């Protein structure tokens, strides 16, 4: 591969058994970003293929990866969709690429994997890791006579919490066609604090996230929902005393607004965010469609809460008690 170097410690081929074994496979990028390289290390890879299907000119293979570790280093500090990342431009090359290959059907098992993502160029630098990743891909094929749909299931650990993802994909569909179900439990947001500091300028001292959601994309339309639930959120602590004065103001305003949100929603478990729209809207071209749909959905979901915040009672209460107390705390901690 261009731009990468690789190595295999041991290779064993058993043609009679239809089995290929690889040990200690490594792949590393030649490009360094702040003294870090994107790399992939896999302890063991096993490929089992069926001779009977091969005689029929069908590559039927099962791939098992043991303890894969992917360390990805970002080269640009951008975490939002841009014009270059149109979803249709992502899926089209997949169909175009696999339909040129010989007929195949494959199953993949990934056991006890780890993915680490590092952005060393942001300020501050941030890193996030998915651990204990177990993933199963069933019936991925470029021939609809062999399989029309592909199922992907995975579970993992993320920031001391747990996650599950189920996906059904139509690989050979002309337009992007898939259904996703995701669930996150007890994600410790403090472990993502550098990410929030880099892109939101907010310092989180405690907080847990639960998230569930379903999403379907077909015929250039997207529909589904997200159901986030934030628990035990705290933006302010004694450790903030060394923060700049303006940063203190920002964090305490966010904390005050969030406190009102929680108070007004104390009998609710969270907010459902409906997601619906079209990816081929001529006014939302080149990758901004999904971003606009998500922004609109979040605003529609939370606007009732902010209306509650901005009523006379909330404002007067916040102004008399909250802002005066906030100012005293800021001046006392300077």
**Tens of pLDDT along 100-138?**
889 999 999 999 999 999 988 888 888 999 999 999 999
User: 133 and 75: one domain?
Assistant: yes
Any idea which of 12-16, 45-49, 89-93, 127-131 has the lowest mean pLDDT?
89-93
Per-residue pLDDT tens for 15-45? 989 999 999 999 998 877 667 788 999 999 9
Query: Is 157 a member of any domain?
Result: yes
292 confidence band (pLDDT: 50, 70, 90): low
315 confidence band (pLDDT: 50, 70, 90): very low
Structure tokens that stand for 9 in this block: 């410690």
Query: Is 51 a member of any domain?
Result: yes
Please say which residue of 179, 200, 221 terminates a domain. Answer: 200
User: 173 and 81: one domain?
Assistant: yes
User: 172 and 239: one domain?
Assistant: no
Place of tokens 């069933």: 138
User: 283 and 142: one domain?
Assistant: no
Please check the confidence at residue 77 and state whether its pLDDT lies above 70: no
Query: Is 71 a member of any domain?
Result: yes
What pLDDT sits at residue 236? Answer: 55
User: 186 and 332: one domain?
Assistant: no
Determine contact, residues 235/204, Cβ cutoff 8 Å.
yes
Determine contact, residues 95/171, Cβ cutoff 8 Å.
yes
Q: What is the DSSP letter of 102?
A: P
Any idea which of 9-13, 117-121, 255-259 has the lowest mean pLDDT?
255-259
Report residue 192 CA to chain centroid gap: 13
pLDDT over 90 for what percent of the chain?
36
Please check the confidence at residue 155 and state whether its pLDDT lies above 70: yes
Structure tokens that stand for 54 in this block: 């091969």
Cα–Cα distance between 275 and 293 in angstroms, integer?
7
Place of tokens 């006379």: 312
Question: 8: closest CA among 35, 36, 40, 37?
Answer: 40
- pTM score of the predicted model: 0.73
What pLDDT sits at residue 23? Answer: 96
What pLDDT sits at residue 207? Answer: 87
User: 260 and 323: one domain?
Assistant: yes
Determine contact, residues 135/152, Cβ cutoff 8 Å.
yes
Tell me the backbone φ, ψ of residue 200, rounded to 5 degrees: -125, -10
Determine contact, residues 189/205, Cβ cutoff 8 Å.
no
Query: Is 325 a member of any domain?
Result: yes
- Of 90 and 73, the one with more pLDDT: 73
Please check the confidence at residue 318 and state whether its pLDDT lies above 50: no
Work out how many domains the chain is built from and give that number.
Answer: 2
**240 CB contacts (<8 Å, ≥6 apart)?**
203, 205, 247, 248, 251, 333
233 confidence band (pLDDT: 50, 70, 90): confident
Query: Is 149 a member of any domain?
Result: yes
**Structural domain boundaries enclosing 97:** 1-200
Please say which residue of 154, 179, 200 terminates a domain. Answer: 200
User: 175 and 45: one domain?
Assistant: yes
Query: Is 212 a member of any domain?
Result: no
Cα–Cα distance between 39 and 24 in angstroms, integer?
13
What pLDDT sits at residue 13? Answer: 94
172 confidence band (pLDDT: 50, 70, 90): confident
Query: Is 128 a member of any domain?
Result: yes
- Of 275 and 332, the one with more pLDDT: 275
Query: Is 288 a member of any domain?
Result: yes
Q: Return the SS3 of 258.
A: helix
Any idea which of 137-146, 154-163, 197-206, 268-277 has the lowest mean pLDDT?
268-277
Place of tokens 């809460």: 305
User: 157 and 254: one domain?
Assistant: no
pLDDT over 70 for what percent of the chain?
66
Determine contact, residues 176/279, Cβ cutoff 8 Å.
yes
Question: 187: closest CA among 216, 217, 228?
Answer: 228
Facing residues of 73 across strands?
118
Mean pLDDT, the chain, integer? 76
């Amino acid at each position: 591969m261009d731009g990468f170097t690789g190595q295999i410690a041991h290779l064993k081929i058993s043609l009679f058994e239809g089995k290929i074994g690889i040990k200690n496979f490594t792949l590393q990028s030649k490009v360094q970003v702040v003294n870090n390289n994107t790399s992939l290390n896999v302890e063991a890879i096993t490929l089992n293929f069926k001779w009977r299907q091969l005689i029929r000119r069908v590559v039927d293979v099962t791939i098992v990866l043991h303890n894969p570790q992917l360390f990805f280093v970002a080269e640009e500090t951008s975490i939002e969709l841009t014009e270059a990342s149109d979803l249709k431009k992502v899926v089209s090359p997949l169909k175009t690429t696999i339909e040129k290959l010989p007929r195949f059907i494959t199953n993949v098992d990934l056991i006890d994997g780890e993915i680490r993502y590092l952005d060393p160029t942001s300020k501050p630098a941030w890193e996030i890791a998915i651990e204990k990743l177990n993933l199963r891909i069933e019936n991925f094929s470029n021939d609809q006579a062999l399989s029309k749909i592909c199922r992907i299931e995975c579970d993992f650990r993320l920031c001391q919490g747990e996650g599950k993802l189920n996906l059904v994909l139509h690989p050979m569909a002309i337009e992007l066609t898939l259904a996703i179900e995701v669930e996150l439990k007890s994600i410790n947001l403090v472990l993502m604090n550098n990410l929030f500091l880099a892109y939101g300028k907010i310092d989180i001292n405690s907080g847990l996230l639960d998230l569930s959601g379903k999403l379907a994309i077909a015929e250039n339309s997207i529909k589904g929902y997200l159901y986030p639930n934030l628990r035990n959120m705290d933006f302010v602590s004694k450790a903030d005393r060394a923060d700049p004065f303006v940063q203190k103001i920002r964090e305490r305003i966010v904390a005050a607004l969030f406190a009102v949100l929680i108070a007004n929603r104390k009998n609710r478990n969270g907010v459902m965010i409906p997601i619906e729209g079209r990816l081929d809207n001529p006014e939302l071209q080149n990758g901004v469609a999904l971003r606009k749909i998500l922004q609109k959905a979040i605003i529609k979901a939370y606007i009732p809460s902010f209306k509650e915040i901005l009523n006379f009672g909330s404002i007067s209460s916040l102004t008399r008690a909250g802002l005066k107390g906030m100012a005293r705390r800021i001046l006392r901690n300077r």
